[in-house]
Structures are given as structure tokens and as C-alpha cells.
A and B are shown apart, each in its own frame.
Chain A
Amino acid sequence: MTLSLTNTAKTYADGTRALKPTKLDIAQGEIVSLLGPSGCGKSTLLRIIAGLETPDEGAKLLFDGEDFTRFPVEKRKVGMVFQSYALFPNMSVRGNIGYGLKMQKLPKTEINRRVDEVITLCQLEPYAARPINALSGGQRQRVALARAFAPRPRLLLLDEPLSALDAALRGQLCDELAQLLRSFGITAIFVTHDQDEAMAIADRVAVMSHGEIAQIGTPEVLYRAPQSEFVARFIGAAMPLGRHIDDNTLHFETGSLNLAGSQAGKKAFIRAEDVRLDDTGPLRAKVISVTFLGTHYRIALAGLAPDPVFALHSALSAPKVGDTVGVAINPAAILMLPSDKKAA
């Protein structure tokens, strides 16, 4: 393991527990995303790794076996991309990118060579001599990335690097960022509250909630086999399904579905893409709302659970509000999860 954190926690002076004791191992070259709603402790964890926050007593941070828990930021050899980018307004693009190399006291020719290299890699050639305030948001983001990467850090940390951009640009830059990080071949940790970003960029995603890692795994595993209600709801917006479970039968207001084996004490969840409108289906539901989204309709249905259940319906026409429709659900697509009292 390249980076290994054990028993890392953070309690603020006023007693707030921002991060519960956390264990995290990251392999060489791996890109890990810390994903969660605001206030879940993801930024705190990132800042502890960066050395910008001091963890509680008992924490241990290892890099290739070397303990760096007590190292100050400037000795950690980590590159950091800040949410606001924190580019130095008193320096040009070149000055910003070269700053870390200057701090390493490299000879001038070497600095110039490496700055040119990174500028080419990040496609910043046309902007190299510009002052920072003459750049667009997307360009700033790339300069921030280039600056963090230029000194060849052991670890690249990114704190919500796309959230300062407007929505249209975000999608495009997300792919670009994923591509750049892969081409760097660097170990990276990347904080976001956006599951699409996390899935697009990361090899593994750590979903965080209430100061702890709820589940960590590849995007596929998190999506297909969430271990808790929180993860299922947060990744892919799973919805509770049915009224109650009686051994191996899931009961609805009208009808029931057979489940594989006894599922007593668990809760059933379903995702919108697995709810099919089918007049021959075994279940009945009432349409409450219909939203046209181009590729499909998003239809809210009453009668499948205490709350409305959404269905994605790909067809040329949709039922009307108030209609009663038949619904088919493949029992294999139902996620059976232990009850989670905390989750919102």
C-alpha cells in the first residue's frame, strides 16, 4: 500500500466530531474519490492527509511505510488542488506552475524545462505568459492542476476541483480531468459531492456519511451491491419499495412479489430504471406526475411504497396523470438492505 491511514479522527475544539476513527489504504497509482454530502467529513479527511489539519491523538499516516503523521504540509510532498484554486494572483501562469519547483531549489534551466513539459501536458501553451486574472474558470482549474503536479508530488489531492465551474463546463472538464490524471499515472485522492464526477474519475469510491466511510469499492460494486441504505440512496438514488416484508414475500397495497429466500428484518429498495410500466405486470400503481426528459419520461407512481416511486419510461408516449398502470419489477433488481435508522 502506498498510502495507509489508521485510526485517523478529527474532533474540533468545540467538541464537534468531524471525522470518526477512519482506516483507509490506497495503492500506488490508484485514484480514489471521497464522496458524500456536505458535512460528511470528506474535506476534513483530505485536509488531514495534506497536513492542513492535525488529526486527533492516535492517528497514524504512512506513506510507503514511512510515518508522516507529524510532518508539516511543506514537507509532505503532496500536490493540492483547492476548490477555489488558490492561484497566486501576483504571478503569471508560468510563475504559478514553477513555484513548487523553485521551492525545491532546482536550477533555473531545469525549472524551465519541467514547467514547459507540464504546460504542454495540460495544453496551456497559449496562456503561459498570462496573469491569473486573465484566465477563464476552466483554464484556472487546469493551471491549478498543473501547479500541483509540476513538483512531482507523491500524492495528488483534489478538493472539489470542478465545483467552482458552471454546469455546462463541468461535464466536459470532468472527462478531461479523468484523462489527465490517468496520463499523470499519479496516486490521487479526489473529494466531491457529485456521484457522477466520482464515478467518472475514480478507480475506487469511498462513500462517506456522518464522519465515517460508509462503504468503499469500485463504482460498479457501489452501484450494484450497496451495503447500506445510505449508500443505496446516495449512489443511483435507490427508493424504498413495498409496504412490508413477510419472510420471503414483499407486500404492496395491491399484490406482492416473491423474494429469494427469507428476508425478514430487511428493507427493499429499487432504482427508477428497474421499475417497468407493463400492463401485464403483477402490480398496480397510480400515476402522480409525468416529466419528459428527452430520452425518457420520469414518472412518479403511488401505491408501490409509502413514498412515490419513480419509473424511467422509454417510449414515444406516456400514461396520463391519474391513470392506473401495471408495473413489473424483476425481483433480482431489488436491493435487500439492513434497516438503517440514521439515513435521511
Chain B
Amino acid sequence: MFKSPAKLFQLVITLLACAFLLIPTLQSALAGVTVNYFRGVSSGLTFKWIIEVWALYSGSIFLSIWLALACLMCTLIIGVPAAYALARNPGRLSRMLEEFISLPLAIPGLALALALLQLYGGWREFRMSWTFILVGHVLYTLPFMVRSVMSVLAAIDLKTLEEGAASLGAPPHRRFLDIVVPNALPGILAGALTVVTLSIGEFNLTWMLHTPFLKTLPVGLADSYASMRLEIASAYTLIFFVMIVPLLLAMQWATARAQRIMS
């Protein structure tokens, strides 16, 4: 199998690339459970740092989860009907609207956050509450939901399916719930996982919008890197990994599934 030098060369390069990506990750994870990083693993393994991170930052972790779920609710409520409306009325205006919704992808999160601060910064209660960060997250994640649902809707003959349901006596809201939503489900699922993953991992917009009492998981991460000992920062990274990697895997699976339906 590896007799030809070209094949062998390819294998070595691939393994090297994997090692380049994996070794720092493993090292960082290992640092989070090492008693003293500077003395190495020989100093022993411990869960002390993880417990400490939990004590210090569990609020951030729960805030991030809560924000991600709230953000998901908002993008579902706004994004799915929006994608439906855009898919149902193709035309230049729809194209423009789609591009407009997608603008937050192109604009740096910092600029988006600054605009939000300029616009709502004077509104103290709103500025201080978690809903302010939520608004930023929804702005940033909405295009992912809309596009994901739209691409699935574009692949089915929505108009005729709806006409079929209408001829069977279904009023507009039933057609949406019985026909549009179930058939768009793979796209909604893929969009939902993307939204949750992005919301949990979002840093630069959140960093601008956060207050000392409202730190999300990545903001807390930056905070721990800046002010805590290396083991705690590493333990924090480990917790972040454990949360985000299953989400990433699920997202991959859901996207592949949606694409299978589209083809």
C-alpha cells in the first residue's frame, strides 16, 4: 500500500499536518489537568483547576448556554418565516434583502458592536441587561439560519406543494406549519446548530458589548488568560472544548444531511 514513494510522502505530510494541529490542543488540554505546568506531567494530574474554573466562571458558562438558546429562539422565530418569505417571492428585492441580512457576516463584529453601543448605549437598562448581548448575537447569527433554510426550500417545489395543501382545504398558517416547516427541517436543524455553535463561541462582538457582570464563556476565557495562572486558563479551555466539539460534530452531521436532501 505504501510502496510508492509518492504515497508515502503524502501520508507523512498528512500526519505532520495533523500533528501540527493536534499537539498544541492536547498539550493545552493536558495543562488543564496538570498539578504544575512548569514541572510537567511528572508533578501529577489533578481536577483541582477544573473545579476552580467552575467556581470562578460557572456563571459565564451558564450565561453562554442561556444566550445561545435565546439566540436560537430568536433566529428561529425571525429566520424561518423570513427565509420562507424570501424563497416564496424570488426577485430582485428578495435578493437585495438577503444580501442586507447577510451584511453582519462581512462587517467586523467590533464595528457591529460599536454601532449598537452608539444607538442604544444611552438606554441604560437595556445596555446593562443580557438582552443587549443577545441582540448582537442575533444580528450576527441570523444570516446563517436564513441561508440554511433558504437553500433547502429552494430545492423543493414549495409553490406546488403549497397549492396542493391549499386545494385540500389548508389555510395559509396550516400550510406553513404542516408543509413548509417539516420539509425545511433539515435546513432548520443545520441552521440551529450553526447558530448555537457561533453564539457560544462568539468573542469579538460580545467583548465590546459585555459588562463586568455579564461575561460569556469566550469573554471569561480571555479574562482567565489575562489574569489567572496558566493551569486555570488551560482547564477553562478544556471545558470550552468539551462543550463546543460535540456541537461542531452535530453541526457537520446536520449540514451533510441537509445537503443530501437538497441533491
A binding-site residues for B, Cβ under 8 Å: 50-52, 72-80, 82, 84, 86-90, 99-100, 103-104, 147-148, 151, 157
On whether A77 and B160 interact (CB within 8 A), knowing A88-B179, A90-B182, the answer reads no
Q: Which residue of A lies closest to B170 (CB)?
A: A103
On whether A100 and B183 interact (CB within 8 A), knowing A73-B163, A82-B163, A88-B161, the answer reads no
**B11 contacts chain A at the CB level, 8 A cutoff:** no
Report, nearest first, the 3 A-B pairs whose CB atoms are least far apart: A100-B168, A86-B164, A103-B169
What total of chain B residues lie within 8 Å of the partner, measured CB to CB? Answer: 19
Which B residues are CB-close (under 8 A) to A99? 165, 168, 170, 178
Q: Which of B152-175 contact A (CB under 8 A)?
A: 156-157, 160-161, 163-171, 174
Q: Which of B164, B167, B174, B185 contacts A88 (CB 8 A)?
A: B164
B160–A86 contact, CB under 8 A?
A: yes
Q: Which residue of A lies closest to B182 (CB)?
A: A90
B168–A86 contact, CB under 8 A?
A: no
Q: Which of B157, B163, B170 contacts A80 (CB 8 A)?
A: B163
B binding-site residues for A, Cβ under 8 Å: 156-157, 160-161, 163-171, 174, 178-179, 182-183, 185
On whether A80 and B183 interact (CB within 8 A), knowing A86-B161, A88-B161, A99-B178, the answer reads no
A287–B208 Cα gap in the complex (Å)? 90
B183–A82 contact, CB under 8 A?
A: no
Q: Which residue of A lies closest to B179 (CB)?
A: A88
Which A residues are CB-close (under 8 A) to B183? 88-90
B164–A82 contact, CB under 8 A?
A: yes
B157–A104 contact, CB under 8 A?
A: no
Q: How far is the CB of A151 from chain B (nearest CB, A)?
A: 6
Which A residues are CB-close (under 8 A) to B174? 103
Q: How far is the CB of B159 from chain A (nearest CB, A)?
A: 9
Which A residues are CB-close (under 8 A) to B182? 90
Can you show 24 pairs from A to B with CB atoms below 8 A apart? A52-B163, A52-B167, A72-B166, A74-B170, A78-B167, A79-B168, A80-B164, A80-B167, A82-B160, A82-B163, A86-B161, A88-B164, A88-B165, A88-B183, A89-B156, A89-B183, A90-B179, A90-B182, A90-B183, A90-B185, A99-B168, A100-B169, A103-B169, A103-B170
A50–B182 Cα gap in the complex (Å)? 25
Which B residues are CB-close (under 8 A) to A82? 160, 163-164
A84–B169 Cα gap in the complex (Å)? 19
Which B residues are CB-close (under 8 A) to A151? 168-169
Which B residues are CB-close (under 8 A) to A87? 164
A74–B161 contact, CB under 8 A?
A: no
B168–A147 contact, CB under 8 A?
A: yes
Which B residues are CB-close (under 8 A) to A77? 169
Q: How far is the CB of A61 from chain B (nearest CB, A)?
A: 15
**A74, A82, A100, A147 — which one has the most chain B CB atoms within 10 A of its CB?**
A74
Which A residues are CB-close (under 8 A) to B179? 88, 90
A100–B179 Cα gap in the complex (Å)? 13
Q: How far is the CB of B172 from chain A (nearest CB, A)?
A: 8
Which B residues are CB-close (under 8 A) to A90? 179, 182-183, 185
Q: Which of A73, A84, A89, A104 contacts B167 (CB 8 A)?
A: A73
Q: How far is the CB of A290 from chain B (nearest CB, A)?
A: 46
Q: Which residue of A lies closest to B157 (CB)?
A: A84
Q: How far is the CB of A90 from chain B (nearest CB, A)?
A: 4
